Amino acid sequence: MAKKRSGNTWGDGLAGQRRPPRRCHGNGRLAIKLGPEGWIFRRNTFTLLTLLARSAGEESTNSHSRLPLSLPKGEIAPVNRLDSTFEKLQAEGKKAFVAYVAAGDPDFDRSLAIMCGLAEAGVDVIEMGLPFSDPLADGIVNQMAAGRALAAGASTAGCLELIREFRQRHETPLVLFTYLNPVFTYGYEKFHQDAAAAGADGILLLDLPPDEAARNADLAQGAGLHHIQLIAPTTPEERVKLLAENSQGFLYALSRTGVTGAHGAPSEGIGQVVDRIKKYTDTPVCVGFGINTPEQAAMVAKVSDGIIVGSAIVKIVENNADDPAVAEKVQSFVSELVAAIR
Residue 57 DSSP one-character state? T
CA distance 331 to 120: 8
The yes-or-no answer on residue 127 being catalytic is yes
Residue 258 DSSP one-character state? S
| 118 close to 99: Cβ distance less than 8 angstroms | yes
**SS3 labels along 6-44:** CCCCCCCCCCCCCCCCEEECCCCCEEEECCCCCEEECCC
Find the catalytic residue in 107, 109, 127, 201.
127
Sign of CA dihedral 219, 67, 245, 181: positive
Cα angle 77, 86, 70 (rounded to 5 degrees) comes to 25
Query: How many other β-carbons are positioned within 10 Å of the β-carbon of residue 61?
Result: 12
CA distance 48 to 183: 11
Tell which residue, 176, 152, 251, 154, has the closest CA to residue 210: 251
Query: How many other β-carbons are positioned within 10 Å of the β-carbon of residue 334?
Result: 23
The yes-or-no answer on residue 171 being catalytic is no
Find the catalytic residue in 105, 107, 109, 138.
138
The residues that are catalytic are: 127, 138
